[in-house]
Chains A and B, each alone.
Chain A
Amino acid sequence: MMRSATNWLTSALLFLAAAVGVLSLLLLVTGHPPAPALAALVRGSVGSGYALSTTVVRAIPLALSGLAVALAFRAGLLNIGAEGQLLMGACAATAMGGVIATLMGGSTGSDLAGGSRVVALLLILIASALAGAAWAGIAAVLRRRFGVLEVISTIMLNFIALSITGWLVRGPLQEPARINPQSASLPQGLQLPVLLPGTRIHAGVLLAVGLALALWWWLRDRASGFRLRAVGGNPFAAASAGQIAVARTTLMAFLLSGALAGVAGGVELTGVTFALYENFSPGYGYTAIAVALLARLSPVGVLGTALLFGALEAGASAMQRDAMVPSVVVSVVEASLILLVVAADRWRSRGAAEAGV
C-alpha cells in the first residue's frame, strides 16, 4: 500500500515534470520566452486564491465527465461520447430549468429557498442525467442491435448533439428577446449555491467528490460493480465462469456513463454558465478522456487529474492574456500527457509480461 502510494506520487511528479518540459519546448519553438509564459501559467492556475478557485471551477465538469469515461472504460466500453452526453445533459437542464421558472410564475426565484430550491435543482440534475443516459443509450442500442462500434457511434453522436444544441438555442430554448443564440439565464434560485463567498466555487464540487467516492466504493465493494469490472476485464470469462449477463451489464455501464456525463452538463449549466449557448462546452467531454486515462481509470484518481487539467486550462487563459501565448499549446501538452501515459503503461506491462514468462 505504502509502496504503491509512493510509486503513484513519483509517477505523478514525473508526469508533471514532463508536462512542463513539453510546454517549455513548445514555447521555445513558437518563439515565446518560456519563463514569463510559465509564470503566467502558474499565476493563472495556483498563483492566488482567485486563480485556485478558477482551477477548481474548471475541474468540476472535467471530473464529472472524467468519471463517466472511466466508468465506461472499466466496463470495456470505449465511450468517446462524453461531450455529446454532456451537451444533451445541459440541454435537458436548460429545458427543465425553463419549465420550473415558468411554473414559479416569473418570479426571479430569489424567494425560492431551502427545501424547494433543493428539489428544483435535483429535478434539473435528474433531467440532465436522464438525457445523458438516453444519448448514450442510442449508442448502446446501435451496438446491441446492429453491431455498430461504440467508438464510431459515440463520436458521431457528439456532432449530432452539438447541432441539436445549436438549433435549440436558436429555436425552442432561445431567450425571450430572441436576439442572441442562447437560452435565458437561470433565475438565481435555480443556480447551484456558491460554497465560498467571493469565489465561483459552487456546490458541484461536492457532487463531483461525492460521486467519485461512491463510484470507487461501488466498483470495489458491490457485486454489481464487480460484475462491471469483470465484463470489462474479459467478457467471455465473465459470461462463462461468472455466469454474468454481459449484455445487461454493458447496457447498464453505457447508461450510467451517459448519466454521469449528462450531470456534468447540468452542473456546468446550473453552477457556472447559467445559460445554454452553442459553444457551451470547450471540449470537456474530450478532455475527460485524458483525465480518465491519466488517472488510470481510478475514480478517486480522476479528481486529481481533473484538478491538474483544470489548472492547465485556467493557466492557459492567463498565459494567453498576459504572455500572448495561444492557449492551444496547452491542448498539445494535454495530448502529449496522454501519449506519455499510454507509452508508460505499455512499457510497464511489457516488463511485467517478460518477467512473468
Chain B
Amino acid sequence: MTVDQAQAFTDATTLALTGITHRFGSVVALDDVSLTVRAGTVHALLGENGAGKSTLMRVAFGMLTPQTGTIAVRGTAQRMTSPATALSLGIGMVHQHFTLVPGMTVAENVALGGHGRFDPLAAAAKVRAVGATAGLTLDPQAVVQTLPIGAQQRCEIVKALAREVSVLILDEPTAVLAPQEAAELLQWMRRFADAGHAVVLITHKLRDALAIADDVTVLRRGRVVYTGAAAATTQDQLRIAMVGNAGADVVAETVGAELVGAESGGATSVRDTSVNEPTVHEPAVLALHQVSVRDARGAVRLREVSLSVARGELVGIAAVEGSGQHELLRLLAGRLAPTTGRVTRPEQVGFVPEDRHRDALLLDAPLDENVALRGAGARRGRMPWRMLRAATAAILSARDVRASGPGAPARSLSGGNQQKLVLGRELADRPAAVIVENPSRGLDFQATAAVHAALREARDAGAAVVLYSSDLDEVLQLADRVVVLFDGRLVASGNDREAVGRAMLGAT
C-alpha cells in the first residue's frame, strides 16, 4: 500500500470486531465485545491479566473462532478461520513470546511460512527492503539466537511486514525491552501508523498507551468498559476503568504510591524512594568479591564484579538485556558457580526467576508439589505431605492466591496467581536473602502491587533483597540503592533516572 492510497483510508475503519462473544467451557472470556481500529492510528488495548485482551486479538488473528460476533476487514465481513486467513487479509500479529526458530537466520525466519522455492538471496533482499521501508535495521544473515531480544522483536515485526500487513497487532511488545529500545519501538509504531497503517498495541503501561495511541479501549472481565480518544483520557480514568470502582481505593493507594512515589502510610511502611538512604553499616548478607563468569561457549558474562548487600537493604539492578544480570542474580541465588572470585551468601536464598513456567514451576503438578519443590534437592527421607499441604494452604491464603486448593494443578492458575505462589513459596521460610528477576512481568496492577508489597515486607523484616527488572521505573521506585550493570561490569550507582538510563547504555 502506498502512502497516497493509505491517506485515502485515514478515517476509514480498517478492522472492526462486532459483538464478539467467546467462552472457554463455562468461562466467558469475551462478552459482546466490539472494537474498531481506524487506519492511520495506534489503538491501545488495555486491561488486567485475564481481562480478555489476548483472547480478543487471537480472535482478530484467526487463532480462535468466536461463538458469536462478526469481523470486518476494510468494510467487508470475513470468516477468520486461521492466522493464514488473517495474514492474507493484511492482519499480522507479534506475540509476547516470540515464534522464531532460534537456529535459523533472520532471512530464513522471515521466509518461513511462505510457499514455493526458498531462495536465500531473495529472502535476504526482502528483509533488507522491508527493513529499509519500515526503518528497522536488521542483518538478514544473523542467526536469531545470537541476536539481542530487541533485534529478535524487530525480526518478528519484519516477518509480519514481509506479508504486507496493514494492521499490526503487538502483544505487550515493550515488556521485554530496555527503556531506550521501548521508546524507539513506540516511535516506530507511530511512524508506521502515520504512513496509513494501523497498530493495535496490547499493553499494561498506561503511560505508553496515552503517549502514543490515538484510541484507547479498556477491557475488564471480557467486556469493554472504556473506549475513547487518548487525547481526552487521563491515566486515572484508565486505572479506574481497568480495575473497577470497587478496587479504586485500593488501587489509588497502592498504585498511586508506586507511580508517584508517595508514602502510603498503611500497615506496611513504604519508604520514600526519592531519597537515597545512606547504606546502614550492617554486615553484608550477600557479597560478590571480584567475581567473573564465563558461559559454556567461553564468552565473558561478568567481569570482576564486587557487590555487597546488607541486611534490610533492597538493591536494584538496572541493565539492558544481556548485560550480565542473568548471571549476577544466579550467582547470588547459588544457582551458578563463579568462574573466578568468591561469593558470600546465606544458606537459604529465596529466588524468583523471570521465566516462572520454565524455571520455577511444575505446571502439571499440583500446587503442594510445587511448594515441595523448594529445597527438594537437599531433602532426605519421607516427603511430609500433610505438612506441605498445610504450608501450601497457608501460602494460598497469606498471598491471596486464587486457586481451588493445594491440589489444583499449577497450570490452572493465572499468571499473576502463579507468581504470587512462587513468591509465597520462596519467602515462606523467611530467607535471609531474596533474589527476584522481573517479578512483575506480565502481571496486572493488583498482582504487581502485591509483589511489591511482599518485597518491601521481606526487606523490612531484615532480608537482603536484590531486584532486577527490565522496567527501570520499577527498579528506581523499589530500590534503596540502584547499581548499573553494563557489558558485565558494575559501572555506576545512583538513583537519578537520566544518569542511570545513560549508564545502562554504556554512556558516561
Contact = CB atoms under 8 A, between A and B. Distances in A.
A296 to B, nearest CB: 12
B49 to A, nearest CB: 12
Given A226-B376, A230-B373, A241 B361 contact: yes
A237 B27 contact: no
Residue among B361, B362, B422 with the highest chain A CB neighbour number at 10 A: B362
A237 B358 contact: yes
A356 B383 contact: no
Interface stretch (A122-130, A133-141, A195-203, A242-250): A242-250
B383 A223 contact: yes
Contact of A243 (B361, B375, B422): B375
B27 A222 contact: no
Interface stretch (B89-97, B250-258, B364-372, B454-462): B364-372
A303 B201 CA distance: 55
A226 to B, nearest CB: 5
A356 B24 CA distance: 8
Given A227-B376, A242-B375, A243-B334, A237 B360 contact: yes
A111 interface: no
Interface string B350-367: 010100001111111100
Contacts of A237: 358-362, 373
Contacts of B29: 357
B308 interface: no
Interface of A: 220-223, 225-227, 229-230, 233-234, 236-245, 351-357
B412 interface: yes
B396 to A, nearest CB: 17
B381 interface: yes
A222 B385 CA distance: 10
24 contacts: A221-B383, A222-B382, A225-B383, A226-B372, A226-B383, A229-B369, A230-B362, A230-B369, A233-B363, A233-B364, A234-B362, A234-B363, A237-B358, A237-B360, A237-B373, A238-B373, A241-B360, A241-B373, A242-B373, A242-B377, A243-B335, A354-B24, A355-B24, A357-B27
A244 B377 contact: yes
B380 A223 contact: yes
A244 B379 CA distance: 10
Q: Which 4 A-B pairs have the closest CB atoms?
A: A243-B377, A355-B25, A223-B379, A233-B362
B378 interface: yes
B369 A227 contact: no
Contact of B351 (A227, A240, A354): A240
A243 B376 contact: yes
B176 to A, nearest CB: 19
A354 B25 contact: yes
Contacts of B18: none
Contacts of A225: 383
A68 B25 CA distance: 38
Contacts of B369: 226, 229-230
A353 B412 CA distance: 8
Contacts of B422: 241
Contact of B411 (A226, A241, A351, A353): A353
Contacts of A229: 365, 369
A155 B375 CA distance: 36
A228 to B, nearest CB: 10
B351 A241 contact: yes
A243 B426 CA distance: 13
Contact of B377 (A220, A245, A354): A245
A316 B374 CA distance: 50
Contacts, number: 93
Contacts of A243: 334-335, 375-378
B374 A242 contact: yes
Contacts of B353: 240-241
A65 B351 CA distance: 40
A222 B381 contact: yes
A222 B358 contact: no
A71 B460 CA distance: 46
A244 B372 CA distance: 12
B55 interface: yes
A252 to B, nearest CB: 13
B359 A240 contact: yes
B138 to A, nearest CB: 30
Nearest to B333: A240
B365 A233 contact: yes
Nearest to A249: B377
Contacts of A220: 383
A241 B370 CA distance: 9
Interface string B317-344: 0000000000000000011000000000
B383 A222 contact: yes
Contacts of B385: 221
Nearest to B379: A223
Contacts of A221: 382-383, 385
Given A240-B351, A240-B359, A227 B377 contact: yes
B358 A242 contact: no
Nearest to A233: B362
A169 to B, nearest CB: 45
A225 B382 CA distance: 9
B478 to A, nearest CB: 23
Contacts of A355: 24-27
A248 to B, nearest CB: 10
Given A222-B381, A241-B351, A234 B361 contact: yes
A223 B361 contact: no
Contacts of A230: 362, 365, 369, 373, 376
Contact of A357 (B24, B335, B376, B381): B24
A229 B373 CA distance: 10
A241 B363 CA distance: 13
Contacts of A233: 362-365
Residue among A220, A352, A355, A357 with the highest chain B CB neighbour number at 10 A: A357
A233 B358 CA distance: 11
B27 A242 contact: no
Contacts of B412: 352, 356
Contacts of B365: 229-230, 233
Contacts of B358: 234, 236-237
Nearest to A351: B25
A351 B25 CA distance: 8
Nearest to A232: B362
B349 to A, nearest CB: 10
A236 B359 contact: yes
Contacts of A356: 24, 411-412
